[in-house]
Structure 1
């Protein structure tokens, strides 16, 4: 049995996190957020981005101090107890599977644009086999692929921002109407046409869009020189994501009154069409296909590395810790591939509202993981002596107020899921998942004996 190899460089990790967080949530989901909040959705993205940055810094403080695979489940187990580590790890795996199912199904739909007579399940099967095959290779190959896929998405967003700015500056007519500029942000019912309630409701969609950035913690076990690479990646990624989302929203709603973004198509198509690009739909399809492939790539990577880390803690079958000569956890890749083949069934069973349901459940799982990261960091700090705190190389800013506010924000978002009727099912599913997994953990503990202490878990991690 081989170990994971540290072959991911700074650019791989940086673009992996960007690629994970920029996808369906921006290209299509942003329309839903705009409908809920109007131009005030800009504030929702700023608030969400600030909270996510605090999560990233908390994860960074722990990862730089102790860079290990499956990091945040390990930290939850060490500082909050074995049950917390078990729930955190498996909830993250649930998140990756749910989002992965949506992504592989979306890939089949996108390919149908060019090949309408080919059954969607063929494309789903093909992409699952392709991405699983790539994840069986050396992690550096995975990192290179994700770098270029993420770069394609970033360039597409940049083209949209530049195109929208050109429409505003040059006064290009949009469908026979003159673009009104920044005044569109407040002249169509006000900046917050649906009031504070609309802004709060949009947070569920916004937090779903930011989901994925925590994958930086997963890479800590395979990063070159993690004490240098991880801080750079963490400091760069949240700011860039915030700029991508916020600037995109500003340009989009300055070009189009928010009320005209009806969600029937992607806002990106409207921008490209307004520039007179007749092949806007084809260009967008290339972009969303690259976004879907990138997301599937990250989903499989994140879930597989988490299962590997869980196995090292004794929270998953030991066979999950087996790796190939290339350093890839091939058993977990196969398990994830089988799980994603369930996307074939979704092509026949999903109703029209499946995106909102999946996004809501994924939001619960994501925010739960973020909450556990923040709580783990707080618990770690309380255990450290004054000298140990002073020795930390990448400290959380605004301690202890910053983490406390971020924790309150995450609890608030979970509450929003239960308050809004459309997303209430996600809270019920989430609570049911936590309850079932807790009972499963207790049952396994009785069969296997007393759970290992945090110190024993550290020794197991070193041996793995």
Structure 2
């Protein structure tokens, strides 16, 4: 029984892990959300994505250093506990769970809206219920089946982006679908210049850009189920940020070259416009299919991520012990059912709560993403402090520059929190975020977890 309740099955390959991170980070943020960042920065948003990509990579390498050295279920929550203390691990784990639940609720709702494009007469709750049951069933089978499903969903999404970039290059250079008239790339500087809203516009867009990279930290969650963590995790970490950067920067470069940046998003999705420009009349339908796979992929990753984090928290004595119960296939099935129940209740609430109220709740996700990243970097600094110089030199996958690199990234992330507080529309997420942290601290001490040793 001990063996049954303590061992996750190692069935995720490098291919699975790589596409899980891509699937989690490339979603509606790219397909629809990038338009608002473009409006804020103009063409210089490309520079913002480059800067953001560098710091996303530093965060991933910091997490990778610890994951390869000590692969654990619930990864960064466990590292926060081990290197910063039980309270830090508790807050980080539960904040991540709440963040991902909020994101998953939005994706379940989005799935219903996307399906209504084809089936306008079907009630949205039918799609919400269907997707939760389907994704739940996939997460209850062997982890390898989950990984395979996630691979193909992400593959469709990634393939579409590549086609989009290639099609855009065809329009830019040869004028495909544009009566043979190449558009060139002059739109990048002819509508107010590259820094159309000044250098400050590019800086202000960074908070939206960084949120677009949210989700890549799921690689750390996979550590407990990777087939060979010492090989698969470094491969996944080294390739994913670069690929995400190419997809984001490449896509936006193409879109802003073909269309003036100040028209992007004003006449529909940039993706639809690009496909229509190629003479593909079914562009809206094609895009709808892709965003449906994007939302399925995101929900799938979300259910996996929360389930494994709750499993890790339960192992540490910071969540109900029943969350460590595994099926014969090595799946923490109670955590999957818990996530499904949360999604069903939350999806229902999402339909009855006014949109502005839900936006206030959902804004916590932005704060929580940055919080988790900050804790990853602080954990890496704590991890290094427990090692001797000789042990540091023998690390299998070290973060280049060590703690100095982490400190630079921390300064950047605190700057992002400052930007969140700068805008009245996003400032609410700081109030809600700090209230959430205060609530967790209160629960931690009221339940007497501070005096218990994690198991």
Shorter-chain-normalised TM-score: which range? over 0.9
- Higher mean alpha-carbon deviation, 163-172 vs 322-331, is at 163-172
Q: Does 1:78 align with 2:79?
A: no
Give unmatched runs, 5+ long, in structure 2.
none
**11, 29, 34: which is aligned to 1:30?**
34
| Structure 1 range deviating more: 343-352 or 96-105 | 343-352
| 2:335 is aligned with 1:316 | no
Q: Deviations over 1:252-289 (max 9, x none)?
A: 10011101113552211011011110000000000000
The equivalent of 2:52 in structure 1 is 48
| Residue 405 (structure 1) aligned with residue 408 (structure 2) | yes
1:161 aligns with 2:165: yes
Taking a change above 3 Å as real, the CA distance of residues 173 and 158 of structure 1, as seen in their structure-2 partners, is closer
Quote the offset at 1:404 in angstroms.
1.2
Q: Distance in 1 between matches of 2:92 and 2:180?
A: 51
In the alignment, what sits opposite 1:418?
Answer: 421
2:140 is aligned to 136
State the match for 2:116 in structure 1. Answer: 112
When structure 1 is superposed on structure 2, of 294-303 and 204-213 the one drifting more is 204-213
* 1:342-401, Cα deviation, whole Å (9 max, x unpaired): 11331343427966x566421211110011000000111011112211221100012333
RMSD: 1.7
Inter-partner Cα distance in structure 2 for 1:45 and 1:353: 30
- Conserved? CA contact 1:67–1:221, under 8 Å: yes
- Check conservation: 2:174, 2:182, Cα contact below 8 A: no
Q: Does 1:100 align with 2:101?
A: no
Instruction: Find the aligned partners of 2:60 and 2:15 in 1 and give their Cα distance.
Output: 17
Q: How many residue pairs are counted as aligned between the two chains? A: 450
Would the aligned equivalents of 1:25 and 1:205 in 2 still touch at CA under 8 Å?
no
Tell me if structure 1 keeps the 8 A contact 2:324–2:332. Answer: yes
Moved more, 398-407 or 386-395: 398-407
Q: Which of 384, 388, 391 is the matching residue for 2:391?
A: 388
Q: For 2:266 and 2:357, locate their aligned partners in 1 and report how far apart those are by CA, in whole Å.
A: 13
Q: 2:22 aligns with which of 18, 23, 28?
A: 18
After superposition, give the CA deviation of every residue in 1:98-118 in whole Å (9 maximum; x if it has no partner): 100000000000000010000
Unpaired runs of 5+ residues, structure 1, are: none
The 1:358/1:188 distance shift into structure 2, 3 A limit, reads farther
Deviates most, 133-142 or 193-202: 193-202
In 2, the alpha carbon distance for the partners of 1:297 and 1:47 equals 29
TM-score of the pair, normalised by structure 2 = 0.96
Whether the aligned pair in 2 keeps the contact of 1:28 and 1:263 (CA below 8 Å) is no
In 2: Cα distance, 1:329 partner to 1:160 partner: 38
Secondary structure at the aligned position of 1:374 is classed as helix
Check whether the contact 1:12–1:144 (CA below 8 A) recurs between aligned residues: yes
When residues 408 and 263 of structure 1 are mapped into structure 2, their CA distance, relative to the original with a 3 A threshold, is farther
Change (3 A) 1:111 1:358: farther
* Residue aligning to 2:66: 62
After TM superposition, list the pairs within 5 Å mapping 1:146-157 onto structure 2. Answer: 146-157=150-161
TM-score (norm 1): 0.94
SS of structure 1 residue aligned to 2:355: coil
Q: Cα 1:393–1:336, aligned 2, differ >3 Å: closer, same or farther?
A: same
